[in-house]
Amino acid sequence: MNRYERYRRALLDYPKPLAFLDLDSLTTNKDRILHAAGSKKVRIVSKSIRCVPLIRHLLATDDRFEGVMCYTVSEALFLSRQGLDDLLVAYPAWERTSLTDVGKEVLRGKKLTLMVDDEEHIARLEEVGQGIGVVFPVCLDMDLSVSWPGLHFGVRRSPIRSQKRLIDVVKGIEKSPSVKLEGIMGYEAQVAGVGDQVPGRPLTNRLMRLLKGHSIRRIAQQRGEWIRELKELGLSLRFVNGGGTGSLKVTSQEDVITEVAAGSGFFSSVLFDHYRDFQGEPAAGFALEITRRPTPGIVTCLGGGYPASGASGSDRLPTPWLPEGAKLLPLEGAGEVQTPVQYEGSFALGLGDPIFFRHAKAGEMCERFTEILVIKGDQVVDRHPTYRGEGKCFL
Ligand SMILES: Cc1ncc(COP(=O)(O)O)c(C=O)c1O
């Protein structure tokens, strides 16, 4: 039975729109992530999953999955209260009440680590920490972007762009009794989050590979030197985190790295289709129902306007996945309440039939659905609430 028929049969009696996950494909992706990570531990990037039972499931499949990379303090607290531990909040937080709540959770013995990259972050934590008598475990985010005149290759996040700056901030932490440095993180977004095998773009792909190759060498050297310097200063770090789905293979080869981060590869959303270094299997999608037939060759579905974040462009739109050959109309895209789809293939699509789509990004799909139906073969074997389904909207 082909994939369209299989999913159609599994989801026949479930009201649409709905989100679903193919369990066998998830398992394949999980194995590929572990393989690409070599001998390193893998921290699961929760923003690319946003479903507690799935995060739990993945953590339980292999000892090398260790800890979660969270995207907000509220999310980390939510996961901690559900029994998860070793939660690294990957982006700095400022709001006092949430920092206080993290402090209380740390006092209960939970391993929650906050991100810092600025003396003001440290001063803020010191003040909150003194107020409640806690020592905040923190991680420093080092910038790994590469700049040439007129071209910045990487993200604009951390201002820690030199070894001197890193050492200054570390010294600031050492002078703060309520803050303890436990880890270093560096995210090479220009390697991990940029496709280099995009069909129909041979020149851009070549350029990307050149830039990525250069970045990879520079990053390995920078990270190696900086971490060794910290060790020479007598610091012992619990972890050095780097990478993401698109860079697992190269990041895991660096000696100083103790763990790599991965999230998007589990669902393998569309933006991760075109990486030389990681090939996942599409594992997650959403089903829309055909409710209209405006003209031969076009069917219109209810729902579907779920674009992804980032620099806007057609690559942020959902992609019709199955049946193969289904396409969005360039002038309508995926609409607020309806999405027309062009299809001239062999299935005789009628009212009530599903069209299966994939989201451009992995976890963002879950912001549109309260549950994910888990399919094995041609059957739904589980239903898991997403963060939204648990009443949570963290960002
Ligand atoms: C700090 C950090 N690490 C790692 C990742 C990689 O996540 P994924 O594997 O989901 O692409 C991201 C993604 O944006 C990130 O911000």
Domain boundaries, the chain: 23-267, 284-385
What is the longest distance spanned by two Cα atoms in the chain?
72
Q: What residue's CA is closest to ligand 1, atom 4?
A: 244
Percent of the chain's residues with pLDDT above 90:
94
The predicted structure's pLDDT at residue 136: 98
Q: How far is the CA of 349 from the centre of ligand 1 (A)?
A: 38
Instruction: Report whether residue 186 contacts ligand 1, using a CB cutoff of 6 Å.
Output: no
The single-letter code of the amino acid at 24 is: D
Instruction: Report whether residue 245 contacts ligand 1, using a CB cutoff of 6 Å.
Output: yes
Q: Where are the alpha helices (DSSP H) in 233-247?
A: none
Q: Which atom of ligand 1 is nearest to the CA of 47?
A: 10
How many Cα atoms occupy the beta-carbon half-sphere of 376 within 13 Å?
Answer: 7
CA–CA separation, 279 vs 275, rounded Å? 7
Q: What residue's CA is closest to ligand 1, atom 15?
A: 187
CA–CA separation, 362 vs 364, rounded Å? 6
The CA distances from residue 294 to 221, 222, 334, in Å, are 58, 58, 16
CATH code of domain 284-385? 2.40.37.20
CB within 8 Å of 107: residues ≥ 6 apart = 132, 133, 134
Q: Name the token pair of 263.
A: 């999230």
Averaged pLDDT, 174-193: 95
Q: What residue's CA is closest to ligand 1, atom 6?
A: 244
| Residue pair 334/328 in contact by the 8 Å Cβ criterion | yes
Confidence of residue 148 (pLDDT cuts 50, 70, 90): confident
Looking at 97-101, 136-140, 146-150, 260-264, which range is the least confident one? 146-150
Q: How far is the CA of 246 from the centre of ligand 1 (A)?
A: 9
Q: How far is the CA of 200 from the centre of ligand 1 (A)?
A: 26
Element containing residue 178 per DSSP (H, E) = none
Q: Tell me the residue ranges of DSSP E strands in the chain.
A: 18-22, 41-45, 65-70, 87-89, 112-116, 136-142, 146-148, 151-153, 179-186, 239-242, 259-262, 284-295, 298-302, 319-322, 327-328, 338-342, 354-358, 371-376, 379-385
pLDDT 10s digits, 332-385: 999 999 999 999 999 999 999 999 999 999 999 999 999 999 999 999 999 999
- Paired with 88 in beta bridges are 69, 113
Q: Which atom of ligand 1 is nearest to the CA of 363?
A: 10
The predicted structure's pLDDT at residue 44: 98
**Four-way CATH pick for 23-267: 3.90.209.20, 3.40.50.880, 3.20.20.10, 3.30.70.1350:** 3.20.20.10
Percent of the chain's residues with pLDDT above 70:
100
Averaged pLDDT, 253-274: 97
The predicted structure's pLDDT at residue 192: 87
Q: What values do phi and psi take at 30, rounded to 5?
A: -60, -45
Confidence of residue 276 (pLDDT cuts 50, 70, 90): confident
Q: How far is the CA of 230 from the centre of ligand 1 (A)?
A: 24
Q: Which atom of ligand 1 is nearest to the CA of 272?
A: 11
Of residues 138, 226, 230, the one with CA closest to residue 176: 138
Q: What residue's CA is closest to ligand 1, atom 7?
A: 244
Q: How far is the CA of 13 from the centre of ligand 1 (A)?
A: 36
Q: Name the token pair of 239.
A: 């972890």
